[in-house]
Amino acid sequence: MVDQDPNTNVVHPRTAVPVLRGTYEPGTAWLVTAVLGTTEPDSPARERPSVLADGSRIRIEDADGALLFDREAE
């Protein structure tokens, strides 16, 4: 998480942004993140998506099983 300067967001004066950091070998690397947020207690946004990565394919589905992303490795 990277804290933002005060009042970057007028509605929420103290905010943070999620980031991915790391060092990777040359080649292809897949970085996957989900940023979820809601004020509704029963919102589907409270449910995490599922990620399947088996070395030859990456597939992401929402909490209801709807396909969000599907791709074979190159």
Report the pLDDT value the prediction gives residue 70, as an integer from 0 to 100: 92
Which of 38 and 3 is assigned the larger pLDDT? 3
pTM, full prediction: 0.54
- At residue 14, the pLDDT reads 77
Assess whether pLDDT exceeds 80 at residue 7: no
Q: What is the pLDDT of residue 59?
A: 92
CA distances from 36 to 50, 54, 56, 74 (A): 13, 24, 27, 29
How does pLDDT run across 33-74, given as a tens digit for each residue? 777 777 777 776 677 888 888 878 889 998 888 998 999 876
Angle at 71 between CA 70 and CA 74, to 5 degrees: 170
